[in-house]
Each structure stands twice: as C-alpha cells, then as structure tokens.
Amino acid sequence: MTPQEEETPVADTNLAQRAISRRTVLKGGSLVGLSAFLAACGGGGSTAAPTTGGEATPAPTTGGEATPVPTADSGEITGPLNFANWPAYIDLNDDESASPTLDDFEAQYGIEVKYVEDIQTNEDFFATVAPALQAGLDTGWDLIVLTDYMAARLVRQGWVETINPANVSTAAANVRDELRGLGWDPDMTYHYPWQSGATGVGYNVVSTKRDLTSIGDLFDDAFKGKVTLLSGYQDTFSLVSLLLRERGEITNLPPDLTLEDAQKIKDFLQPFVDSGHVRAFTGNEYLQDFGSGDTWVAVVWSGDLASSGGEDDRFIYPVEGSIIWTDNMLIPKGAQHKRAAEAMIDFVYDVDNAARLAAWIYYISPVKGVADVIAAEDAELAANPLLFPPADVTAKQYAQPDLTDEEDIAFNDLVSLLEGA
Amino acid sequence: MGQLIHRYRAAIPWLLMLPGLAWLAVFFVVPNVQMLLFSLSEGTLLTGFTTPPDTWSFDNFPGAVTRYSGNFVNSIVYGGLATILCFLIGYPLAYGIAFRGGRYKSLLLFLVIAPFFTSFLIRTISWRIILGNDGPFLGIIRDVLGLVPDNFSVIGTPLAVVGGLTYEFLPFMVLPLYVSLEKVDRRLVEAAQDLYAGPWRRGGAITGALLGGFLAVALQVGLGYSQFVGETATPGLVALAALVGATAGGLVGASMVSQAFLRVTLPLSLPGVFAGSILTFIPSIGDYVNAHLLGSPKTQMIGNVIQGRFLEQNDYPTAAALAFILMAAILVAIFVYARVLGTEELSGGRA
C-alpha cells in the first residue's frame, strides 16, 4: 500500500485509498440481508402493494385510461406515506428497532410512514411498478428511490408526478448546487436526490488476508469462488471498464461506453464466470454473503458495508477510479399521498435531519451544510471518505452510462448472457 | 318439483361442474390465451408491444430455444436428478411409514408435511445457511475431515441446487407413494411368500449394482461436483463413483429386496410412483428460487430466464414463448412416461 501513501500528502486522505471499515458496532447485516433475499427472489411476489397491505392501496381511479389522479396539492397532509427504498438506506436507533428520522417525521406530521426496503435493483423494481404506471393506475407507492438512469427513464415516460415547489422550500434551498440542472430534470420538477454514493470494491480483510487497492484484485486467483459482482451493466460493467481502460483495451470513460466496449467487458468477464471465480451476480444481498463468509470480495455500493457490514469488512475506492451515482426520490404517477411525499422530501432536506441520516448510512448527502453540522459534532466522521470523498478520489469518479432505451436493451442482452439467465 | 328434477337429471353433473369449469375458464384459459398472444408479439414494455394480428413473430420460439438451450438442459438435468433422488429417499420412507408405521403413522406423516408450514423461501434461505461458509455441512467436510480446500464453496454448485430441489419437493413424492403403498393388500404379500417368493439375492445384487452405479455416475457428471476444486470429471473419478455406487446398490439390492416386494408390492405401488414423480418433476423443472439462491450464473434454470425476461428485461414475448415451450416439453415428457409405465397400472386396473 506504500505507493498511495507516498502520493497523498495529507494523512487523512490516505483513508480514501486505504480500506474504510465501519466505525460503529452494529450487527445489522444478517437482518438486512434476509429482507434483501426476500425482496430479491420475491420478484413478482413483492409487487406494488406495500407489505402491510389492504388499506394502503386504495382502488385506482375509475377512469382507468391514464386519468390523472386528483391528489390534494395544497391540501392537508394525509397518510400513510408508502415509501419504497433500498436496504441499508435509513438510520436506525441503537437496538435497530426503529428509525429516528421516520419516527420524527411521524411525530411532526401525525401520519404513519410505511417504509419498505423493497428495492434491490432498479430493474426489478421498475418491472414491478411499470405495468401499473403504464395502465395509468396507482402503484401503491407514494415515494420511491431510483438511480439517475432509471429515474430519467420514468420521467421520460411521463410516469412521475410533479413536485409542487411551494411544498418543498427547504429542499429547494438546500440541495447542493452540483446536483441541480441535470439534463433529464433541470428544474427539479420531478425529483430530489436521496443520497449519492460510489460503486467500488468491498472485501473482508480477514478472508483476503491482505488489503486490496484495485479493481484487478477482484480477479485474483486466491479469491476464486468467493467473488460476487453487482447485477446489470450500470455498476459492474462501468467499474470493469475502468480496469480495461487502464490496460488500454477500452478508451471510452464509463458515461460514454459503447456496445463494442460492453462486448469487450463481457468477453473479459465470461471466463471468470465459467470457471466459477465469480460465484454470483447480486443486489444488496451481498451484505448477507459477507456476513456468512461466502463472499470475500465483491463489487459493492460505498456505504453499505460501513453501516451494515461486519467489523472486518472494508470498502475501497479503487486506484483505477470508481463510479458515482445519485439515487433520487420520485413520486410515481397516481400516488395517493403526494402531499405526504412532498413533506418527506422537505423533511430530509433539513440540515440536521440530513446530517443524522448521512452519519448513519455513510452515503454522500445531497444537502448543503451537512459537512458543517457533522464537523461540529464528530471530527472523525467529518474526515470519513465515504461521506466526503477527498479530491483525489472525486477526480477519478465517473457517472454511469447514459443510454437510450434501444442501447439499454442491447447492453442488457449481453448482461443476460453473462449472468446465465 | 320432483318431476322437474327428474326431467333435468341429466343436467345435474354439468351443474355441479359449472363452478370448476368457470374457474378454469377465467383463471387458466384466459391468461394462457393472453400469454400465447404475448409469445407471438414483438417489443418490450418500454418500447411498446406489437401484438397479433399486427404481427405474428413465430421466430420467438426457435430463437428462445437456441439461445437458452443451456438453461433448458440445466432444468431437465437438475429436475430429473431431484426427482430420482426424491424417489430413492422417499420410497423407503413411504414404505416404512405404510408397513411399519404402526400407531405412529399419523405422526410420521405429519412430520413429512411439517416443512410446508413455513414459507418456501425461508426454507431455501435456511439451506443457504446450512450449506454456507459458516454452516454445518462445510464445518464437517472442510474443517473436520479436510476433504476440500479452504475457499471451497458449496453454494453456487449444482450440488446445492439439486439438494435444495430434492428437499423442497420430497413431500410431493412421499405422500402419493404412501397412499398407494398403504392400499396394498397385505394378504397378497403373504400369499406370495407362501408361494415361494423368497429372497432375491442375485437379481437384487445385479439390479442394485447397475442402478447404483448408473446413479452415482449421473450424479458425478450431472452435478459437476468438482468444478470448484479446480478438477474436471476425469475418467478415474467417474470410475470411482461407479464403483462406490454399484457396491452400495448391490448390497442394498441383495439384502433388502425380496421377491414378494418385487412381484407384488412394487407393481401395486406404481400409480404412486407415477403420481409422485410427476408431482416432483413438474415443479422442480420450472423452479427458479433454488437456482437463484443456491446457484451460480452457470446453474441458472429455465425458470430463472423466464423470471428475468419478465421482470428485469421486460421482454414479455420471449418470456411467454419460453413458458409455452416449457409447458409443451413437460406435456410430452408426461405422455411418454405414462406410455412407458403403462396406463393400466396407473389406474390400478390390475390390482
């Protein structure tokens, strides 16, 4: 690990290249993992209806044919708020029985929040809500969280409610400037970011018996059969493209990957899948596999292992670079409690609320001023590269591929050949 | 009134069948017609579908077969092995309960069904734990016996998938077998013994050895057990497997199978064998949960492809085509199987 230490002058930024382990002592991994599996293989099972069911999904409007559902824009905030999010993406209290953020929101607005960790991968969740959205029906969700490319796709399809600016004044004021003005929604008409994060390499240092630094470490023979990659091309193909770029086999950066590049990446990965080196393609359920020791090294999302992994689980921003993305809050068309969803958007953009959330889940907050609040309370956390990636890391962070629907289908064909189904 | 009933007596069976027929029409025929139309369509959820009569994409069918032939093979091999294993485990169990269960019969049967009281998913996830890195299985063969290297993983091998399938569907095999064995008239067995149906040593040893050897080789090759240890199935390993299987099968055949069983009990239980193997084979061939949770990219079955095409790629036409191909393949397989076993035995005609 010496080369990196020599390169980086300030001791603190070493953390960026070196392994990041978790700070607090938790044991959430197995629980999170279990719900992850249930969602993962539920597929059709865990469809639109939130788990607690019945009264949460009122009958769709009688019109059927894409009739805009009359939602009270200026009216009262009514509940329950049906909130679909990813695992390991909300703060928890000490015994992990409740979430302070959600409790405070419920206390402040007097409505119930039905928070369900139902999103494992963007594609799976899209498939569960798309038929309802296409038919102009209520999905049963009031607030969902999807990554940039998938959020953009929903907006393109016209499947997202507009957010009334009057109801989200805190959010409008506090969202970080670099997150404004995106091509697919320049004026924040449809979305507000939930968190940003990176895709990099996670490993269990006891199992690997050494510190890892690069994407190439995923393919070390010593880890055969104990490696998992994220499913889909957005994370794994983007990250591996950086490795191939380093080797001179690909010239494009991840946002500009072509089908030809994707083919090269697929050809590179195929032998590792055939030999059993790569055991599986996963969503968030890698947390469970790290917990049991079935996975030693994996392509992972930056905050998960820190918030919900074990003592010896580490995350690195690889030397070749990493992938940066933002998950965005959207109100799906026909949501029954739109006003409550807007209240939640505004609530998590309060600086103190945002700081509490980021400090627990270890992702990058989209809220201005969070750094100051955290710095005032916890200097160690303020230096954590998961929450505040240092400059040498951000210089090598790239966005995910931005593809048309047709390109997306072609990329997904390669993915399905690679993943075996 | 009585006259009225008398006059329409012929209509009564139809009236009784009406709810069932209506149910099937609504929940079987209608969705299948819809699926059939999808299987002949083009496009995805995002780009929109072109459905018949605007297009008739019969190409979906051969395209799906060629592209996913590997998954079909996985399904047939794993489903077939799981059915055979279920039979080998289930027949002695059902026999034991039916003939020797005594007053514990009900309790034993309850224990067979007991796993159904928990969710299918939870049971499969618990198999992940049993076969996982920290689990008891590796705890014995890796830590205690040292048979496999440190980074050996059972999860991700075909062994794990077939093991999971066998476990999930064992009750589907045991219950029909039990029902048919329970019905066997004991006096027929006694009569056979009186008529010199004694032990079956030589025939049992030969048949057992052949079956055992074949099964061991099928397991060895079909499961690709050694792929994660870095070896392929060498002729030596196959020969070893055949030897072990033949010895075990021969011993069992010679010591435990009698002429009376062979000539009376087994033929009378064939309807149960047929029902049990159909009930095991059909769900296991279409299963995707086990391959998803216990398998690797190389062990994905056709159910995984259908699930992925429907729910990840939103490619309904290919998914629907695959579903129909699977359905047709299963129907053909059952037809052939019924012919081989003989329809007379299946209806219990000879008993």
How many distinct helices (H) and strands (E) make up chain B?
A: 19, 2
Q: Does B121 touch chain A (CB under 8 A)?
A: yes
CA distance B7 to B25: 28
**Cross-chain residue pair A42–B121, CB shorter than 8 Å:** yes
Most confident listed range (A36-45, B79-88, B308-317):
B79-88
User: CA of A274 to nearest chain B CA: how many angstroms apart?
Assistant: 7
CA distance B62 to B309: 16
Instruction: Calculate the alpha carbon distances from B180 to A26, A398, B131, B272 in Å.
Output: 54, 65, 34, 5
Q: What secondary structure does DSSP assign to B172-210, as a single string?
A: HHHHHHHHHHHTS-HHHHHHHHHTT--B-HHHHHHHHHH
Chain B residues within an 8 Å CB radius of A279: 153, 155-156, 296
Same domain for A296 and A337, yes or no, is no
CB of B317 within 8 A of CB of B63? no
Same domain for A57 and A81, yes or no, is yes
SS3 B32: helix
Beta bridge partners of A325: A197
Same domain for A8 and A45, yes or no, is no
Instruction: Calculate the alpha carbon distances from A382 to A196, A411, B82 in Å.
Output: 16, 39, 55
User: CA of B125 to nearest chain A CA: how many angstroms apart?
Assistant: 8
**Cross-chain residue pair B297–A419, CB shorter than 8 Å:** yes
User: CA of A244 to nearest chain B CA: how many angstroms apart?
Assistant: 22
Indicate the angle between helix axes B60-67 and B69-100, nearest 10 degrees: 70
Q: Does B43 touch chain A (CB under 8 A)?
A: no
Q: HSE on the CB side for B128, CA within 13 Å? A: 29
Residue of B nearest to A413 (CA): B313
**Cross-chain residue pair B151–A274, CB shorter than 8 Å:** no
What pLDDT was estimated at residue A124?
86
What pLDDT was estimated at residue B256?
82
In A, what residues contact B, Cβ < 8 A? 34, 37-38, 40-44, 121, 123-124, 126-128, 130-131, 134, 153, 157, 222-226, 273-274, 276, 278-281, 288, 292-294, 296, 405-406, 409, 412, 416, 418-421
What pLDDT was estimated at residue B102?
84
Residue of A nearest to B119 (CA): A38
pTM: 0.79
What pLDDT was estimated at residue B333?
87
Same domain for A186 and A294, yes or no, is no
Same domain for A160 and A294, yes or no, is no
**Cross-chain residue pair A421–B128, CB shorter than 8 Å:** no
Nearest by CB to B314, which of A130, A224, A292?
A: A130
What pLDDT was estimated at residue A51?
35
CA distance A95 to A87: 17
Nearest by CB to B153, which of A40, A153, A226?
A: A226
Q: HSE on the CB side for B313, CA within 13 Å? A: 27
Nearest by CB to A292, which of B46, B133, B296?
A: B133
Instruction: Calculate the alpha carbon distances from B278 to B14, B336, B343, B349 in Å.
Output: 29, 12, 14, 20
Q: Which of B157, B296, B304 to mutate to test the interface with A (most CBs of A within 10 A)?
A: B296
**Residue A374's domain spans which residues?**
29-196+326-386
**Cross-chain residue pair A157–B46, CB shorter than 8 Å:** yes
The CATH code of the domain that includes A235 is 3.40.190.10
Strands B42-44 and A322-330: unpaired
CA distance B287 to B303: 6
**Cross-chain residue pair A276–B228, CB shorter than 8 Å:** yes
What average pLDDT score do residues B43-54 get?
A: 76
Q: Which of B312, B315, B316 to mutate to test the interface with A (most CBs of A within 10 A)?
A: B312
User: CA of B240 to nearest chain A CA: how many angstroms apart?
Assistant: 24
Same domain for A214 and A292, yes or no, is yes
Nearest by CB to A293, which of B133, B295, B301?
A: B133
**Cross-chain residue pair B132–A292, CB shorter than 8 Å:** yes
The backbone region for A161, taken as left when phi is positive above 0, alpha when psi lies in -120 to 50, beta otherwise, is beta
Instruction: Write phi, then psi, for B339 (nearest 5 degrees).
Output: -65, -45
Q: B267-280, pLDDT tens digit by residue?
A: 889 889 999 999 99
Same domain for A189 and A288, yes or no, is no
Length of chain B: 351
Residue that has been written with the tokens 């059915």 in this structure: B83
A183-219 in b/e burial notation, b at 16+ Cβ within 10 A? Answer: ebbeebebbbbbbbbbbbbbbbbebbeeebbbbbbbb
**Cross-chain residue pair A409–B313, CB shorter than 8 Å:** yes
Same domain for A304 and A337, yes or no, is no
Q: Does B304 touch chain A (CB under 8 A)?
A: yes
What pLDDT was estimated at residue A59?
38
Q: Which of A35, A41, A417 to mutate to test the interface with B (most CBs of B within 10 A)?
A: A41
**Cross-chain residue pair B304–A421, CB shorter than 8 Å:** yes
pLDDT in 10s for each residue of chain A, 421 residues: 333 333 333 333 344 344 565 444 333 333 343 444 444 443 333 333 333 333 333 333 333 344 444 444 557 888 899 999 998 899 888 888 889 999 999 999 989 999 999 998 888 899 899 889 988 899 999 999 999 999 998 998 899 999 999 999 889 889 888 888 888 888 899 999 999 999 999 999 999 999 999 999 999 999 988 999 999 899 999 999 999 999 999 999 998 999 999 999 999 999 999 888 998 999 888 988 898 888 999 999 988 888 888 889 999 999 999 999 999 999 999 999 999 999 999 999 999 999 989 888 888 999 988 888 888 888 888 888 888 888 888 889 999 988 888 888 899 889 988 998 7
What pLDDT was estimated at residue B19?
93
**Cross-chain residue pair B304–A420, CB shorter than 8 Å:** yes
CB of A257 within 8 A of CB of A266? no
Q: Does B150 touch chain A (CB under 8 A)?
A: no
Beta bridge partners of A8: none
Same domain for A53 and A77, yes or no, is yes
Structural domain total, chain A? 2
The whole-angstrom distance between residue B195's C-alpha and the CA centroid of its chain comes to: 37
CA distance B111 to A366: 54
Q: B160-209, pLDDT tens digit by residue?
A: 899 999 999 999 999 999 999 998 888 888 888 888 888 888 888 888 88
B44 DSSP 8-state letter:
E
Model confidence at B341: pLDDT above 60? yes
Q: A276-289, pLDDT tens digit by residue?
A: 899 899 988 898 88
Q: Does B47 touch chain A (CB under 8 A)?
A: yes
CB of A294 within 8 A of CB of A374? no
**Cross-chain residue pair B298–A43, CB shorter than 8 Å:** no
The backbone region for B55, taken as left when phi is positive above 0, alpha when psi lies in -120 to 50, beta otherwise, is beta
Residue B1 has which token pair?
A: 């009134």
SS (H, E, C) chain A: CHHHHHHCCCHHHHHHHCCECCCCCCCCHHHHHHHHHHHHHHCCCCCCCCCCCHHHCCCCCCCCCCCCCCCCCCCCCCCCEEEEECCCCCCCCCCCCCCHHHHHHHHHHCCCEEEEECCCCHHHHHHHHHHHHHCCCCCCCCEEEEEHHHHHHHHHHCCECCCCHHHCHHHHHHECHHHCCECCECCCCCEEEEEEEEEEEEEEHHHHCCCCCCHHHHHCHHHCCCEEEECCCCCHHHHHHHHHHHCCCCCCCHHHCCHHHHHHHHHHHHHHHHCCCEEEEECCCHHHHHHHCCCCEEEEECCHHHHHCCCCEEEECCCCCEEEEEEEEECECCCCCHHHHHHHHHHHCCHHHHHHHHHHHCCECCECCHHHHHHHHCHHHHCCCCCCCCHHHHCCEECCCCCCHHHHHHHHHHHHHHHCC
User: CA of A16 to nearest chain B CA: how many angstroms apart?
Assistant: 29
Same domain for A214 and A125, yes or no, is no
What pLDDT was estimated at residue A146?
95
Chain B residues within an 8 Å CB radius of A149: none
**Cross-chain residue pair A420–B307, CB shorter than 8 Å:** no
What pLDDT was estimated at residue B120?
86
User: CA of B248 to nearest chain A CA: how many angstroms apart?
Assistant: 32
Domains of chain B from N-terminus onward: 37-198+258-346 (1.10.3720.10)
| Cα angle, residue A302 at apex, residues A228 and A347 outer, rounded to 5° | 130
Chain B residues within an 8 Å CB radius of A274: 298
Spatial CB neighbours of B169, under 8 Å, sequence gap ≥ 6 = B82, B83, B86, B279, B280, B283, B284
Chain A residues within an 8 Å CB radius of B134: 292-293
What average pLDDT score do residues B96-104 get?
A: 89
More confident residue, B237 or B156: B156
Nearest by CB to A41, which of B71, B289, B305?
A: B289
**Cross-chain residue pair A127–B310, CB shorter than 8 Å:** yes
Which B residues 174-233 touch A at CB under 8 Å? 227-228, 230
Q: Which of A294, A411, A419 to mutate to test the interface with B (most CBs of B within 10 A)?
A: A294
Question: ipTM surpassing 0.85, yes or no?
Answer: no
Instruction: Calculate the alpha carbon distances from A199 to A303, A305, A321, A400, B145 in Å.
Output: 9, 12, 10, 10, 39
Same domain for A406 and A281, yes or no, is yes
Same domain for A251 and A306, yes or no, is yes
SS3 B43: strand
Hey, CA dihedral for B263, B269, B275, B276, is it positive or negative?
negative
Chain A residues within an 8 Å CB radius of B292: 40-41
